[in-house]
Amino acid sequence: MIQAEERTNEIVEDGTVISGFTMEQYLAARDAIKALPESSDKERLLDKLALVEQAMTNMGIEYE
């Protein structure tokens, strides 16, 4: 959980996607979150990750 939280906090702060994040940071956060068991914490982190995915979509960056 701590690793997933740290990775997510590297790219989302206070509900805002941090400019200049890298694809490597996104993938590290995504993989750490996916490894978590189902929980409210996982759902919260997935919501944060969705902000990053929306930002990438808006920038025309493919991430899947």
List the structure tokens of 61. 């960056």
Give the domain extent around 45: 1-59
- Residue 30 maps to a domain: yes
> Which DSSP category does 27 fall into?
H
Cα dihedral across residues 45, 47, 51, 53: positive or negative: positive
> Is 48 among the domain residues?
yes
Q: Rounded to whole angstroms, what are the CA distances from 21 to 10, 12, 16, 39, 52?
A: 8, 9, 12, 26, 9
Q: Look at residue 64 and tell me if it is in a domain.
A: no
pLDDT tens per residue, the chain (64 residues)? 999 999 999 999 999 999 999 999 999 999 999 999 999 999 999 999 999 999 999 999 998 7
Q: Cα separation of 34 and 20, whole Å?
A: 23
Residue 13 in any domain: the answer is yes
* Report field, pTM of the whole predicted structure over 0.85: yes
Query: How many separate domains does the chain show?
Result: 1
